[in-house]
Structure formats: C-alpha cells, structure tokens
Chains A and B, each alone.
Chain A
Amino acid sequence: MIRALIPISAFRRIPSAGVFLIFAVLCLTFTGLVVLFSVSQEQADPGALLRKQIIWLAIALFAGGITSCINLQALRPFIPALGLFAAFLLVLVLVPGIGVRVNGAQRWIDLGPMRLQASEIGKLGLLFVLAHYLAANRRYLDEFIRGFAIPCGLLAVYCGLIFIEPDYGTCFLCGAVGGCLLFLAGVRLKFLIPVALLALTFFSIAVYMDPVRMRRITSFLDVQGNREDSAYQLWQGILAFGAGGLHGVGLGEGRQKLSFLPEAHTDFIFAIIGEEGGFFFSSGVVLLFVTIFFIGVLQLKRAPDLYQYLLVMGALLFITFQALINIGVVTGCLPTKGMSLPFISYGGSNLVLMFCLTGIILNGFRSWELPLLRRQREL
C-alpha cells in the first residue's frame, strides 16, 4: 500500500525526448510570461498579473514534478477513489454557497486565497478513470456493456457534470478526448459512431437553445456583419494578426491590448502574440504544440501497457486539443469559446493542470524501457 506511493527516483535519467518536451513547454511558458507582461503594461499595476502568474507557475512546476515522479503503475488501485473525488468536486461546485458564480456559470470552488476550477480536477479524474478502466477491461472491449456502455457512461458522468455548470467548452473538450481514448482503445465503431453523433446532436441542440451561445455561433458565421457588437472581440483578434504582419510590431508596441481586446491576457493572448511577434512568433507557438504532440506520439510505441499508453495519449490530447481550440477560436476558425491557451494564458488552475499533464507524459518517458537497440549499445 505504502510502496505504491513511493515515487520512482526523481534523479532517474531523463531521455532526450523528455528534454525536448521540457524545452518546448518552458519555451511556451516563457513566451506566456513575456506577453503577459507586455499586455499588463496597460493596467494600473503592470506587475500584478505577472507576480500572480509566477506564483502559480511555481505551484504548477511543483505539481508537475510530483506527477512526473509518482509510480503510475502503483497508483492504479487508488484510481477509483481518485475518480470519485473528482466527480465529487464537480458536484460540489454546483452547490450554491460553495461554488462561485461568475458570469452566470458556477465553475470555481473558493479556497480562500485562490479559486480552484473544478473541471481541471475533473479532466484529470476522467483521464485516469478512463485509462484505468479501458486497460483493465481490454479483453471485453468488444462487448456492448463492459466494452462500451460502462466507459461511455463514465465519460457521460463527467461531461454531464461539466455541462450543467455550464461550461460547454470544457465539456466538448472532455468529450473529444474521452471519445478519442475509447476510439484508440478499440471500442467498436458500430457503437461509438452513433453515440458520438448522438452526443454531437444533443450538444448542438443545447447550444441552439441557449441564446447567448447561439449568438456566438451566428456572429462567428458572420464576423464582418457583427464586428461592432457580438463579434467585436473576435474581429479585434483577427485585426491583431493583420497588424502584426510577418515580423510583428515589436514587444510592448501592440495596440490591440489598448481596450480593443477585452480578454487580451487570457483567452485572446495568442492574438497579442500575433500582433507583437508577427507570423514568425505565432507560427512558432503552433509548431511548439506540434512538437509536443508528435514527440509524445513517437514515444508512445514504448508504452508498456494500454493503461500507460492511454494515460500519456490522453494527457497529450488534452494539451493539444485545448491549444487547437484556442488558436482556432482566436484566428476565427471556430466559434468563440472561452478556453485558455495551454502554458501561455493567464490563469492558475489551467497552468497547474497543464504541468500535471506534462508531468504524466514525462513520467511515462522516464519509466518506460528504452528501445532494445539502444540498450544493447549501453551494454
């Protein structure tokens, strides 16, 4: 019992893929701090946001360090409890008085000095629960009940709880990642595809019924026509890229943060990168996310079992999908959805989660056996 929690050695050698991964993540984090500092020049206390973010970064690095050292295999017996705890938090946040309501959505649990976004724990819980269950029931994945209905139900519980907060974006993200894990684990397509379509239909209807979110969709479809009101933020974000051009206007020289872009330091920070750094920087950020994803995917072939495979893949997908959605939104490819850019956007909970996920990926890289060829040479 105790042995299960003993971490694998913190000093165990980090493989070169892990170095690349750390490098890419730190690059993104550093870019985020620099751009955050540039954006916050317009605020009353220019250093306030940066100081908070650095405190969060320290917490995140600590959390990431832990997740990169724990023994993933030994953790398995505790996963049901972990999953229950995450689901409990998701329920707790809905309780009036405990959950903090901001802009009509109850997503945060007030912990005194800081607020915890419950869905971040929920994502982590979902990831472990699905990976553990699918790996444990690998043999029965062809069946309807054990191979489809149960994992699907688990996914639906988490998504549903997030959905009624409401946080449609995170719900969609969890649904997509969860769906991909089911798909990879080998759930039969004849079950998966209809349910996925059904879920999408349900999701669409929910959006359609919600006037605020429906408006976002319509304004996304006609940015030019709504650029003075509902698509204002989106339009200003798009303008930022045009203003930046190839080389950018230079750090600190951007104008879109001057009350043009309301969420310049959080969801729309990528637009500021585009304006101040130009195409080279914005595409650089995209390439770093590509690097993280494909480094991870290439290492996955070394995964010892389905559990760890799904765990690392899920972590990768959470990071990658979130980046894709955020950049897609800011560049006007997707309808406006409040989702932060991993490692870069201002915001504590998400930063901690992202480093936890990175830690999980790194953990895998370190504990998995190295390729046979390499080991021979070492001998």
Chain B
Amino acid sequence: MSKAFVSSFRSSLLCAAVALAFLVLIGRLVQLHVTGRSELLAYVEKSRKMVQMVEARRGNIVDRQGNILATTHTTMNLGVDPQSVRETDFPKLPALAELIGQPLKDVQTAFERKSRTAVEGRAVRLIRWATLAKGLSEDAYEAVMALGIQGVYGNRNFARTYPGGRLAAHVLGYVNAEETPVSGIERSFDYYLRGQDGWRETERDGRRREVARFREREVAPTNGLNVELSIDQMVQHIVEREIDRLVAEYHPDSVSILVSEPSSGHLLAMANYPTFDLNEYFDISKHPLANQRNRALTDILEPGSTFKIVPAAATLNEGIAQSGDIFQTGLAKVEYKGRALSLPKDHGNGYDQLTLHGIVMKSSNRGAAQLGMLLGEDRLRSYASAFGFGEKTGIDLSGEVPGILHPVKNWDGLTITRMPMGHAVSATPMQIHNAMAVVANGGVLMKPQLVRRVFDPSGEEIVNFMPKARRRVVSSEVARELSQMLVDVVSPEGTARRAQIEHFQIAGKTGTTQKIVDGRYSHKQHVASFSGFFPAGKPELVITVIVDHPKFDGLGYGGAISGPAFRNIARACINHLGIRPYREDARSLAMRLSYDEFSGRFAD
C-alpha cells in the first residue's frame, strides 16, 4: 500500500481472509454440485418421485335379467382437522350435522377436541383428523363442501355394496375391507371382476401434492369386467322367502335349497339357512362366521331315499330288471354271496311285494336293498360314482367337498343292503340335486354352473360359459322310465303327495334320513329332503329342498316338510318364468286312473 495511513499488513491480512472464505465457498460448491452430487440426487429422487395408484373399478355381478347383485360405487369419508377450524364457522355446524346425519353434539366434539393424550403421562398429541361420517355419497359431499367450513375435507374411496343384502349371499360372497375377495363368485371370478389398476409416475412438491406437469407416465386403469350369473334374482328371492317360512315353522338347524335348469346345468337359485348380510359380513356378533358357509356345497349328509334313483336307474340301465318286475319286499333276510343278510326295515309302510316301479314310488328300503344286491358292489358303486357321488360337482364356487363314497374294498358286509337306500354314503345337497338333474336331463350329467357370461362395461361379451355335459350316466330311455316312476311318487299314492301341482306332472323323490348323533342313527333328528323336477315330460326346473333337523312330530319328513316347500317354490317359479304344462303330461294326467291301476300297489 502506497498510503501510510493503513498498515499494509493489516489490510493484506483482511484481504487474504476474505479470499480464503471465498475459496472455501467455491470448494463447497464443487462438493455439492459435482463430487457429492450422486448422493444428494438419491435423496432428491426419493422425496420427489411418486408412483400413484389409480384404482380400477371392480365389475358388477348381475343376475340373468341384468339386475345388479353386487356393485362398486364411490363414497367419501368425511373428516375435520380441528387445528384449522375457525370459530366463525361454528354457526354452520347444525347444517353440517343435518347433511351428514350425525348428532350435532358429536360434530361439535369433533371440532373442539384438539388433542389427545396417547399414553398416561405422555405428551399430548394434536388431532389432525377426526372422522365425521363414513361412506357419504358424492352428492352429500358436494353439499358439505358448499358450506365452506375450513378444515373439513374428505377422502374418496370405492366401496363394494350388495343391494340385495342377504340375497344370494352364499353365491355372491364378498370382498373384505382389504379388498381381498373372500368367498363366492367374488372370489372365484375375481380374475374377471378385479380389473387392472393403473398408475401414474409423477413428481410431488414439498407438500406431497402431485405436480401434474412433471407427470412422466400414465397408465390408465382397466376397469373390471361384469359377471352375469345364471341366478334369477326373483327365483332366488322366492327360494329365500320359502326358507324363511320353513325356519319360522320348523326351526331347523339348517336348510339348503337349489333350483336349476336340467338341460344346461345353470342354477337359478342357491340358498342356505343360516345366512348373513353381505353388507355386514364383518359384524360377527350378528352374523356368526359359520353362517357364511355355503352349506349346499360344504356340508355332507346321508342322502337317504333320494339316493334310490341310483340303484333303480342302474338296474334298468343294466337290463337286470324291468319296471314291472316283482320283488319280494316282505323278506327280512336275503342270501347274498353265500351269506344271509338282514334287510333294512320299512317304517310303517311294509309291502310283501312291489314292482320295481312300486319300490321307487313307495320308497321301499327292502326293495332297494334287493336292487343293490342284484347289481352287486362294483356296479352299484360305479353307478353312484357316475351320478356324481364321491366327486366334486365342479361348480364355480370354492369350498366344495366331494362327499364320501367308499371304494368297494372298504365296504362292510351290510353296505350292499344299506347303500341303495342312501346310507353309508355321504353327499352334499348339490350332489343330490345334480343326481336328480341327470334323470331330468335324459341321463346326462351336467356341470352345474352359476355364471352365464362375462361382459365388459360397454356390454360386449367376453366369455360365454356354455353348458358343459360331463357324461352320460344312463340311457335316455331309462331316464324317461325312471322319471315316470318319479311322477308317481308325487301322486296321491306316492310319498310326496304334498308336492303336487294342478295341471303339472311333477317327478321327484322324497328322503328322510336319520341323522347320526354320537355314532348312532338317531330316531329324533332327521333330515327331510325332496328333490324333483317338472314338467316331467320336458323338465325345465330341478328343485332340491334339504331341511336339516326340523322340529316336527310325525313320520315321512321328506314328504311332509320338503314336499310342500318344493311345491310353493315350483308354483311361484311357474308364474314368474311362465312355465307351461307339457302337453303329453297333461294327457297322461287325464289317464291317471288306469295308469294307477297298472302300477299301483299289489294286494296284501
């Protein structure tokens, strides 16, 4: 420095210090911008990048008429942030309470309670969200927003609802709060219903809001497909109403009723008691978990007399006997393979002689046992198996059990006499129903189906579930002959008098099974069943009614309890579906008198 008034040492020192400080800053900039960049970028990416899921809308489940049975709609969950409310908004609270249908007091509490003590003695925590209402409709939400109360806002979410509530609960199943399909069609057709969620790869700002202009990729969601059931909402309703009546009158342990088209295997109704409300599946106290079981598929019972169609059809199909052949049904013991086997008893309706026709019509246990012995173990079992016993029916719902049909080597000495009457074999209501459908369908076993087609939101069909025949069990002639016998079951002389309907020929078979209680056949607990179809000459509906342990005093449960239930359902279905009597049937009804003389009971 040329001037003497400032020490050059001091000014140089200061300049050096400033220069050093600038150098440090430049060095720091190099470090941040260049050398340490990758590490910082990792944090930046993490705090900015965002993948937003765009939820796909789940498809509807509709019945065969297009009525919605399960659907998804958007709802809003409304809440308030008590930290940001203003005193000036408080006069609006009564209007808000009215809109969301909550007591004013609760709403005020939500607005005023600003903190909570998490644990005793711990620091208080501020409340940032107090739920005001759940599941608000979008219209109601708009109305709430129009009030303009600061701090009140909502979150949108999809909610699965079942307009029918209990209707077809076991068929539909439900999707739980975690969006996992739990049961029914919801579960087995989840693949079609679910749809494909879309996503957005985007960036967010410091308040975690999306910055739309930096959106890099957007994949639109593919909404789920709709599933059209073969179920008819009206028929389902008829069936459930009938179940309600049975429950009210007889207080049974459980009831299962199935209605289907024999020619296609499509079910029109499937209902069980006890049941539950699909919209309240989570309320275990109201609807115990056991009620969610689809008993028509998961519970097995001994089919009892309804099983007699198996030995009868087998005998006819094998040409061992004709319908008019006479059997000595008064015998208590019959020699079989060198051993004298005692035959089961016939309760109260013992006959010394019956034709094959009469055995079916009168449901003779001894006669059926003799048919079994004529067939032998192997043929009896293979026919039972052909009718679908001992294997899953292959219906579209999960949880189905195959029932129990033991291989011949496991049979004991008496099985050959007991199985023809439906003991020593266990089946689900669905299997019993399906076996009867074989007779109605001219001897062909169909795969029972609940879904007719899958279509996209625009209505275009994606998959069509055509009827699937599984195998021919008996010839069509045998089926026709057997159905004639079954028509007589539902005649004034048969066991199912109460299932008759004027102008219609009904074919069916009753069953009354003693329940096995503590390893023994109980004389008090029974299962009353009836499985039948109509019009007999050209069957359009198969209906099976299984009532477990009805509180009823008397004999012939199947005819007395399940028969009338069948009739009530059939009548309502005739009206609803417009089923007309088959011409040939009508003629044979007129000829009934002579026909009865021919096939009726022989003199004692």
Residues of A within 8 A of B (CB): 138, 180, 183-186, 236, 238-239, 241-246, 255, 258-262, 274, 278-279, 282-283, 286, 289-290, 293-294, 297, 300-301, 303, 305-306, 309, 320, 324, 327-328, 331-333
Contact = CB atoms under 8 A, between A and B. Distances in A.
A243 B42 CA distance: 9
Interface stretch (B10-18, B223-231, B238-246, B358-366): B10-18
B26 A306 contact: no
B32 A238 contact: yes
A328 B18 CA distance: 13
Interface string B37-74: 10111011001100000000000000000000000000
A242 B39 contact: yes
B216 interface: no
B37 A245 contact: yes
B40 A238 contact: yes
B338 interface: no
Contacts of A241: 29, 32-33, 40
A309 B22 contact: no
Contacts of A283: 26, 29-30
Q: 8 nearest interchain CB pairs?
A: A242-B40, A259-B206, A258-B205, A241-B32, A260-B206, A279-B33, A259-B205, A306-B5
B6 A324 contact: no
Nearest to B12: A297
B203 A246 contact: no
B25 A138 contact: no
Contacts, number: 114
Contacts of A328: 21, 25
A239 B356 CA distance: 93
Contacts of A138: 5
Contacts of B3: 301, 303, 309
B155 interface: no
B248 to A, nearest CB: 63
A203 B40 CA distance: 34
20 contacts: A184-B7, A184-B11, A239-B40, A239-B43, A242-B40, A242-B44, A255-B205, A255-B214, A258-B206, A279-B30, A282-B29, A283-B30, A286-B26, A286-B29, A301-B2, A303-B3, A306-B5, A306-B6, A324-B22, A331-B28
Interface in B532-564: none
A236 B206 contact: yes
B29 A279 contact: yes
B2, B5, B40: most-surrounded residue (chain A CB, <10 A): B5
Interface in B181-209: 203, 205-207, 209
Contacts of A300: 1, 11
Contacts of A261: 206
Given A258-B206, A324-B22, A242 B29 contact: no
B33 A320 contact: no
B36 interface: yes
Contacts of B18: 293, 320, 324
Given A301-B3, A303-B3, A258 B211 contact: yes
A180 B16 CA distance: 13
A245 B33 contact: yes
Contacts of A303: 3
A245 B32 CA distance: 8
Nearest to A262: B206
B25 A331 contact: yes
B143 interface: no
A260 B40 CA distance: 15
A32 B4 CA distance: 39
A39 to B, nearest CB: 13
A283 B29 CA distance: 7
A261 B48 CA distance: 13
A111 B379 CA distance: 111
Contacts of B203: 255
B123 interface: no
A283 B34 CA distance: 12
B32 A324 contact: no
Given A255-B214, A324-B21, A184 B32 contact: no
A309 B6 CA distance: 9
Nearest to B36: A242
B463 interface: no
B205 A244 contact: no
Nearest to A293: B18
A245 B22 contact: no
A180 B39 CA distance: 39
B33 A260 contact: no
B466 interface: no
B462 interface: no
A300 B206 CA distance: 47
B40 A184 contact: no
Contacts of B25: 286, 324, 327-328, 331, 333
A245 B206 contact: no
Given A239-B44, A242-B44, A255-B203, A289 B10 contact: no
A55 B412 CA distance: 108
B24 interface: yes
B550 to A, nearest CB: 67
Given A186-B6, A262-B206, A283-B29, 16 more contacts: A184-B6, A184-B14, A239-B40, A241-B40, A243-B41, A245-B33, A245-B37, A259-B209, A274-B29, A279-B29, A283-B30, A286-B22, A297-B11, A301-B3, A309-B6, A332-B32
A274 B33 contact: yes
B463 to A, nearest CB: 47
B33 A242 contact: yes
B5 A290 contact: no
